[in-house]
Structure 1
């Protein structure tokens, strides 16, 4: 958030968090959440669009602060996602099947990207391609900036080095030793089980128990979470796109108290279970979606439990126990 506020002041003369929220079309609660948890990836892209700062600079602090959409590199394309996909597949070692696997889609979807029938790509799909082949997710989504993402050192803990007989040279202190809040604590990665099903809209009955969801499957994912009760649940339905896409999984943390504008997994006394956004707790619990204007209002007594949903997990992360 320090870099976001710096860019807002420098590029748009925005002095307060309220000014930043208004410029990004975000609620004040979302800005407060970013201050505690770090700016989300979608938030960085929105800041790049509305404030003019580089999403890469926001995430890493490296490169230029500014993002000028009028400045295009030789590899940038104005012809859309189909041209960008063709550029990716020009590399002899990258095949359409590999792109499909990295993005978590079918080969038919890749063919539709190439033909122009599908003109957009989701953030998680783009990040999957970036992780597999190094192409920038921002470039894949928006066609802006350099096609290849900047590669940084693996943040995972390294094994301790062997002791040397000579004294090691004194290391220079980094200019910003404080870790960014939005980088997951990789020391907390552990197997998180997949439990039940969740639906973006109002679903059918899913779980019949009235307590902590049971019936964990043989599936799991290595995910960072400090909540010992954390679990993953599959997502179906369309009302939470683009935040949660069908086929993905949601990381649920029952030990975290949800706040306004948070995503939540809600269990009703009727047995219905859904993923929604928590909009209000006044005059009933009001729940909404990302792409549907309809708001659902429930009395507190109608809700069995309501758990905080941290973030989506791509299907490619899911493993099966042998």
Structure 2
């Protein structure tokens, strides 16, 4: 029988909710949901509210017994893409120190709901952020969410470089970022060199991608 965290991941991946949406629905902090998604929490205090938000059976989520209730949850494509689905804008081809080059030839959608109309997805290519992000997985970026310390972020510098980092702090006209892959050291960057810092809402499996040519 799979674990609570494995059942949660199945339900969360199929729900189409962002971590922000789920935290709001359950009335908990987003870090609490982030720990569940990352596998750092093996139980959850508000499991009834969690089951309701994920639209799964409470008994299945809490103990693994019974039917999950997921069988009827289908992502409907009726001549178009469901409202709120995340547009994929390309691939992030990873290089050294968490920096990457953008390849915008990939075109499609993720079966993942976001209420941020400007949200977009990028497919990660390369292993520099393993095991947190595997090559072939997608990151969902929500520009309208203001990132906080500890959040994973998409960073675009004014010289054109792009990075995915963890925000440590922003103060005294500079940013401090730590690397998702702990083999790389933290970096400090002046405000004047930074173009954008955008919130990374989720990491999504490749199975959730819909190629635009298949629609």
In structure 1, the gaps of 5 or more residues are: 1-33, 49-54, 63-135, 137-145, 159-187, 208-214
Give RMSD over aligned pairs. 3.6
Correspondence for 2:91 among 171, 183, 197:
197
Aligned residues: 165
> CA separation in 2, counterparts of 1:254 and 1:192?
12
Secondary structure of the residue aligned to 1:152 is coil
* Residue 43 of structure 1: how far off its partner (Å): 6.5
Q: 2:211 matched to 1:309?
A: no
Correspondence for 2:47 among 56, 60, 69:
60
Secondary structure of the residue aligned to 1:194 is strand
Contact residue 85 and residue 114 of structure 2 kept, 8 A: no
Correspondence for 1:206: 102
Structure (1 or 2) with the greater strand fraction: 2
Correspondence for 2:40: 46
CA 1:318–1:43: 2 relative to 1, 3 Å = closer
> CA separation in 1, counterparts of 2:107 and 2:102?
18
**Per-residue CA shift, 1:16-48, capped at 9, x if unaligned?**
xxxxxxxxxxxxxxxxxx933342354684343
Correspondence for 2:29 among 36, 53, 61:
36
* Residue 154 of structure 1: how far off its partner (Å): 3.6
Give the TM-score, by structure 2 length: 0.62
* Residue 216 of structure 1: how far off its partner (Å): 7.1
Q: Which has the higher contact order (CA 8 A, sep 6+)?
A: 2
**Per-residue CA shift, 1:233-289, capped at 9, x if unaligned?**
111343433332211000001111111111100001121111110011134201112
* Residue 318 of structure 1: how far off its partner (Å): 0.5
Counterparts of 1:75-114 in structure 2, within 5 Å, are none
Structure (1 or 2) with the greater helix fraction: 1
* Residue 157 of structure 1: how far off its partner (Å): 8.0
Give the TM-score, by structure 1 length: 0.43
